Every structure is written in structure tokens, then in C-alpha cells.
């Protein structure tokens, strides 16, 4: 049976020691190999201040460490509600805000039900559905960020609706521009920028909407240093929700399959956002954002800066458990987040 080197705080009753544990001063055997660990031994081992121990490979539980933030059925329902809402709006029909609020409540109930929920990149993305799937993803991400920033439930509900409608101004523009490969002409770029004001004007004209909803459509492309659009607002003048939506928007756009772009791996997108913080993105929001995304999904093979090739075997908000598959200490399992000196050189998957 294969041996694993695991952190002491991960040993559990029922595991079997694969190598003896020796006393540091004189090498006396304290625990024999092949010993099945009981809680009393585990407590004793923990008191020895060891970092890791070798155990025999053990059957893993089916209990996942990390859960998707939205169920497939809710995602499908959300995409279809948005499609209907957007096409009704285009025909100048009423905005069914109650339907959107109920949808956000459903997403919110699920996200708040379990703190293992984290955001990971989905592999598939249909081109023509982009605006809808993107809006749903931005909503989920924004709610996740807001939830660990301790926003209240009613604030999260508004943030969710703002996120669903942040790009609604696109319905008034020629969709082809948004999918154009290659560099945009200045006039085309101006048209793209116009979706913010178009969304604002449109939502502002609707009755019974929180003033935040049109304003987030207007502000989500503003940047901390004033380099955003349409008004070039600076940090203190940008609403907190717009700062959250901006990061959710950029991260999802970078990691999505588009006609003109292959998706950027999550870890690289996070790195790019980090490099532009605090210049373009709000530091506090980014610090929370990186806690709710899992940069490396399960099964991915990575080459680390210490020349180990590793496989990601478990991932969650707090840990990224990897198993060394080649290099020194083959079989070792450890939490990548606890080794800040290491970085990922390459994705081999
Ligand atoms: Fe936008």
C-alpha cells in the first residue's frame, strides 16, 4: 500500500502508521509502524510537536471539502429567467423585479447554507449564452464576496439583483461588437463603453427600483485610480457594491471561453487582479475575493518551484491539498496554502 506523508493535524483514528515515530533526542521508538491509530495515540503524537507523519494510504471520505456555489438546476433556471427578462426589456415590457429578487434569494439561501461553498471555474461556456451565464456568474461571485465581507442579508439581496442587471445596457447595443475578435476601433470601444450609461438610463426610468440598481450598471467599469469609464470616478466616489461587481465581472470575463479569447487559468486571473490592486481594484474587496475562489480545481497537475510535480486532490476556501506525484518525497500530501515560499511554475493539465 502506498505511503502518505500528512500533516499531524490531519491524522484521524483508524489510519495506520507507515513509519515509526522516533524520539527526537535519542531515536527511541515511540510508536511502531503498522500501529493503527486511536485517538489517545493521536493526542500523544500531537503533543510531540511534529509537523508530519507517514501513514498508509487511507480510503477517502465522500464528503467534499468544497461545494459549488450554485446547483445546476438553479443555474439553468437563472440563465433562462435572465434570457426572458432581457428580451422582454428589449420589447419595452415591464421589468419583473420580483422574479429577479426571488431568484437572488434562492441563490443566496444556498450560498449562506454552507461555508464550504467556494467558486471554481466551470469548463463549459456556450458562446451565445455569454451575457446571461456571465451575469449569473457575476451574481454568484458578488454574493460570495459580499457574504464574507459581512454584508447583511438585505444588502446581499440588492447586490445580487444589481449584479444580474449590471450589463443590461448591452441589449441596446449591437451584440456583434462584444464578440469581435482582434483590436477594436476607437469608435467601437466608445460604443462598448456606452452600455454603462444605457443600462443606467434604462433602469433609472423603471419605478420601484432601488437607486443602487441603475448606479451599479453605471459604475461597474470604474477603477480606483480613475482610469475606468464612463465617468472616470476615483476610489472614494465608487460605491462599495460596484467595487465588488467590478472584480467579479473581470474575473469571470477573463476565465470564460469567448470567441476571441481562450480562458485564462483561474490562478493567473487572480494574479493579474492582484497585480492591479490597489491601483485599479479595491484592496479590501480583493483580499476577500481570493478567499472564496479556488484557484486550482481537483485533478489538476501542477509543477511547483521546488521541482515537485503535484496533483490537486482536495480544494476548498482554506486549503489546497496536493499529492506529490514526482520529485522528492513522492506520495507526500500537504496544503499548498501553508507553503507561501512555493509557487506554481506551470499547469501541466
Ligand atoms: Fe459591463
Residue 65 lies in a domain: no
Least confident among 62-71, 254-263, 311-320? 62-71
Domain boundary among 59, 85, 108: 59
- 168 and 306 share one domain: no
> Residue 102: what pLDDT?
96
- 64 lies in a domain? no
Clarify whether residues 179 and 274 are in a common domain: yes
Say yes or no: 273 and 199 in one domain: yes
Cell of 113: 447554507
Q: Is 285 found in the same domain as 301?
A: no
Residues 188 and 249 in one domain: yes
Same domain (yes/no): 223, 279: yes
**270 & 312 share domain:** no
Give a yes or no: residue 133 inside a domain: yes
Q: Which CATH number is 2's domain given?
A: 3.90.105.10
Distance 51 CA to ligand 1 centre (A): 47
pLDDT tens, residue by residue, 224-279: 999 999 999 999 999 999 999 999 999 999 988 777 777 887 878 888 998 899 99
CA of 193 relative to ligand 1 center, distance in Å: 8
Report the chain's mean pLDDT, rounded to a whole number: 86
Ligand 1 centre distance from Cα of residue 116 (Å): 29
How much is the pLDDT for 123? 53
What is the rounded average pLDDT of the residues 304-329? 86
Q: How far from 183 is each of 155, 186, 223, CA to CA, in Å? A: 38, 9, 22
How far apart, in whole angstroms, are the C-alpha atoms of residue 233 and residue 90? 29
Residue pLDDT, tens place only, 283-296? 999 988 988 887 77
Q: Is the dihedral of CA 300, 303, 309, 314 positive or negative?
A: negative
CA 192 to centroid of ligand 1, rounded, Å: 8
Same domain, yes or no: 205 and 337: no
Domain boundary residue among 266, 292, 318? Answer: 292
Ligand 1 centre to CA of 221 (Å) is 6
197 has pLDDT over 50: yes
Quote the ligand 1 centre to 229 CA distance (angstroms): 10
Spacing, Cα 298 to ligand 1 middle (Å): 30
Instruction: Report if residue 280 sits inside a domain.
Output: yes
- Cα 179 to averaged position of ligand 1 atoms, centre (Å): 13
Distance, CA 287 to ligand 1 centroid (Å)?
22
Does pLDDT of 28 surpass 80?
yes
**What integer pLDDT is reported at residue 232 of this predicted model?**
97
CA distance 134 to 314: 26
Q: Are residues 173 and 264 in the same domain?
A: yes
Q: What is the pLDDT of residue 125?
A: 47
Task: Name which residue leads in pLDDT, 117 or 216.
Answer: 216
166 CA to centre of ligand 1 in angstroms: 6
CA of 73 to the centre of ligand 1 (A): 26
Query: Does pLDDT of 312 surpass 90?
Result: no
Q: 73 versus 235: which is more confidently predicted?
A: 235
**Residue, of 63 and 90, whose pLDDT is higher:** 90
Average pLDDT over residues 134-163: 95
Q: Do residues 264 and 302 share a domain? A: no
Domain interval for residue 32: 1-59
Strands (E), 105-178: none
What's the rounded mean pLDDT across residues 70-95? 87
Q: What would the mean pLDDT of 208-213 be, rounded to a whole number?
A: 92
E-strand ranges in the chain read: 3-7, 21-22, 29-31, 52-56, 301-304, 309-315, 320-326, 333-335, 344-347
Work out the pLDDT band at 62, boundaries 50, 70, 90.
Answer: low
- The yes-or-no verdict on residue 324 having pLDDT over 70 is yes
Give the model confidence (pLDDT) of 84-115 as tens digits: 999 888 887 788 899 999 999 999 998 888 77
- pLDDT of 126 > 60? The answer is no
Q: In the predicted model, is pLDDT for residue 64 greater than 70?
A: no
Rounded to the nearest angstrom, the distance between the alpha carbon of 114 and the centre of ligand 1 is 30
From ligand 1's centre to the CA of 265, what distance in Å?
21
Q: In terms of domains, do 169 and 55 share one?
A: no
CA 196 / ligand 1 centre spacing (Å): 7
**Ligand 1 centroid vs 195 CA: distance in angstroms?**
7
Give distance in angstroms: CA of 63 to centre of ligand 1: 37
For residues 121 and 202, membership in a common domain is answered with yes
What is the Å distance from ligand 1's center to 128 Cα?
16
Check residues 328 and 117 and name the one with the higher pLDDT: 328
Task: Say which CATH number the domain at 247 has.
Answer: 1.10.3210.10
Q: Which residues contact 216 (CB under 8 A, 6 or more apart)?
A: 162, 163, 165, 166, 239, 241, 242, 245
User: Where residue 128 falls among pLDDT bands split at 50, 70, 90?
Assistant: low
Q: Among 29, 59, 89, identify where a domain stops.
A: 59
Q: State how many domains the chain has.
A: 3
Q: Residue 296 region, left (φ>0) first, then alpha (ψ -120 to 50), else beta?
A: beta
Whether residue 67 is contained in a domain is answered as no
Amino acid at each position: 500500500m502506498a505511503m502518505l506523508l500528512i500533516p499531524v493535524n490531519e491524522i484521524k483514528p483508524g489510519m495506520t502508521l507507515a513509519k515509526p515515530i522516533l524520539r527526537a533526542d535519542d531515536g527511541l521508538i515511540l510508536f511502531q509502524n503498522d500501529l493503527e491509530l486511536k485517538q489517545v495515540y493521536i493526542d500523544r503524537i500531537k503533543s510531540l510537536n511534529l509537523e508530519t507523519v507517514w501513514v498508509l494510504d487511507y480510503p477517502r471520505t465522500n464528503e467534499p471539502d468544497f461545494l459549488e456555489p450554485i446547483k445546476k438546476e438553479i443555474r439553468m433556471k437563472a440563465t433562462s429567467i435572465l434570457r426572458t427578462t432581457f428580451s422582454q426589456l428589449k420589447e419595452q415590457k415591464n421589468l419583473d423585479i420580483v422574479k429577479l429578487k426571488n431568484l437572488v434569494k434562492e441563490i443566496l439561501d444556498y450560498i449562506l447554507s454552507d461555508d464550504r461553498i467556494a467558486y471554481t471555474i466551470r469548463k463549459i461556456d456556450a458562446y451565445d449564452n455569454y451575457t446571461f451565464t456571465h451575469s449569473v456568474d457575476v451574481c454568484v461571485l458578488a454574493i460570495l464576496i459580499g457574504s464574507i465581507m459581512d454584508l447583511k442579508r438585505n444588502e446581499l439581496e440588492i447586490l445580487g439583483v444589481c449584479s444580474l442587471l449590471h450589463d443590461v445596457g448591452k441589449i441596446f447595443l449591437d451584440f456583434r461588437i462584444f464578440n469581435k475578435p482582434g483590436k477594436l476601433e476607437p469608435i467601437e470601444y466608445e460604443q462598448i463603453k456606452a452600455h454603462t450609461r444605457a443600462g443606467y438610463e434604462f433602469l433609472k426610468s423603471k419605478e420601484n427600483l432601488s437607486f443602487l440598481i441603475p448606479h451599479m450598471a453605471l459604475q461597474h467599469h470604474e477603477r480606483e485610480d480613475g482610469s475606468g469609464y464612463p465617468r472616470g470616478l476615483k476610489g472614494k466616489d465608487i460605491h462599495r457594491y460596484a467595487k465588488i461587481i467590478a472584480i467579479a465581472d473581470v474575473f469571470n470575463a477573463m476565465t470564460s471561453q469567448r470567441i476571441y479569447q481562450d480562458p485564462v487559468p483561474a490562478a493567473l486571473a487572480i494574479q493579474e487582479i492582484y497585480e492591479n490592486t490597489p491601483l485599479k481594484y479595491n484592496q479590501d474587496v480583493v483580499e476577500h475575493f481570493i478567499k472564496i475562489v479556488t484557484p486550482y480545481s481537483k485533478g489538476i497537475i501542477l509543477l511547483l518551484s521546488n521541482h515537485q510535480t503535484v496533483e490537486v486532490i482536495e480544494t476548498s476556501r482554506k486549503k489546497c491539498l496536493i499529492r506529490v506525484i514526482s520529485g522528492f518525497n513522492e506520495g507526500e500530501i500537504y496544503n499548498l496554502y501553508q507553503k507561501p515560499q512555493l509557487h506554481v511554475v506551470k499547469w501541466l493539465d
